[in-house]
Amino acid sequence: MQILKDRIRAEGLYLGDGILKIDSILNHQMDPNLIKQMGEEIAARFRDAHPTRILTAEVSGIAPALMAALALNVPIVYARKYKPVTMYGPVFLETAPSHTKGGETNLLVAAEYLPAGERVLIVDDFLASGKTLLALARMVIEARCTLVGVATIVEKSFEEGRARLQEKYDVPVESLAIITYLDEQRIDFAGDLPLDAGI
């Protein structure tokens, strides 16, 4: 998605240790028109898989997941990090390590919002190591639902999360911007022309 790549190049900030800050685009401030385009692109890529529900994790996955759900006309449910007093009854619980926060993060979904038999599309902001997405996928299987695919906004291919997901679940994985190299000076995306092209 070229508009997304352009915005990441213009506004993204490399913080070291493989961490890319895109707070002005997705993780703090959001451009509603860009988020809407992201959701529509995800919906277009997965419409033929006939998802009946979208699953994401709070917080940064919610906006693109919501726009994809709107385009597909399906419900969205998001995994909570903390159990509110209103969440009672059976709960699906998984944990995943957080690269940006450190430590383990809980992912909780009330069983009533992930009923058996659903066709679930997982949508999230980043695909790096894949550990959060693997935790969400485990939840889908535990709920006796069908995982139809995984969609992310940004993928860091050098962290090999895609391979882990596909090895474990053998489902389509789509990312709107795939970063193949990242440092303080440059961000390279899959599909870019080589730097020496045309010379």
Residue 196 has pLDDT above 60, yes or no: no
Q: Is residue 165 part of a domain?
A: yes
The answer to whether 161 and 122 have CB atoms below 8 angstroms apart is no
Q: Is residue 12 part of a domain?
A: yes
* Of the candidate ranges 13-22, 82-91, 118-127, 156-165, the one whose mean pLDDT is the lowest: 82-91
Number of structural domains the chain divides into: 1
pLDDT at 86: 83
Q: Give the span between the Cα atoms of 151 and 45, in whole angstroms.
A: 9
Task: Note down the domain range covering 178.
Answer: 2-189
Q: Is residue 197 part of a domain?
A: no
Q: Is residue 149 part of a domain?
A: yes
Q: Is residue 196 part of a domain?
A: no
Q: pLDDT tens digits for 25-42? A: 999 999 999 999 999 999
Residue 197 has pLDDT above 50, yes or no: no
Residue 144 Cα distances to 7, 27, 52, 125, 169, angstroms? 39, 31, 14, 25, 14
In three-state secondary structure terms, 191 is: coil
Q: pLDDT tens digits for 43-77? A: 999 999 999 999 999 999 999 999 999 999 999 99
Q: Which of 13, 26, 18 is nearest to 56 (CA)?
A: 26
Q: Give the span between the Cα atoms of 123 and 187, in whole angstroms.
A: 23
Per-residue pLDDT, averaged over 150-177, amounts to 96
Q: What is the DSSP letter of 80?
A: B
In 114-149, which positions are buried (b, 16+ CB within 10 angstroms) versus exposed (e)?
Answer: beeebbbbbbbbbbbbbbbbbbbbbbbeebebbbbb
Residue 59 preceded by cis peptide, ω within 30: yes
Give the CA dihedral 182, 10, 191, 36, nearest 10 degrees: 120
Q: Is residue 195 part of a domain?
A: no
How do strand 91-97 and strand 76-79 relate by DSSP bridges? unpaired
Q: pLDDT tens digits for 68-108? A: 999 999 999 999 998 887 888 899 999 998 766 668 899 99
Where residue 94 sits, what CATH number does that domain have?
A: 3.40.50.2020
Rounded to 5 degrees, what are φ and ψ at 52? Answer: -110, -5
Q: Is residue 199 part of a domain?
A: no
Q: Is residue 94 part of a domain?
A: yes
Q: Which tokens sit at 68?
A: 């994809």
Q: Give the span between the Cα atoms of 85 and 63, in whole angstroms.
A: 24
The answer to whether 64 and 54 have CB atoms below 8 angstroms apart is no
Per-residue pLDDT, averaged over 142-155, amounts to 98
Per-residue pLDDT, averaged over 161-183, amounts to 96
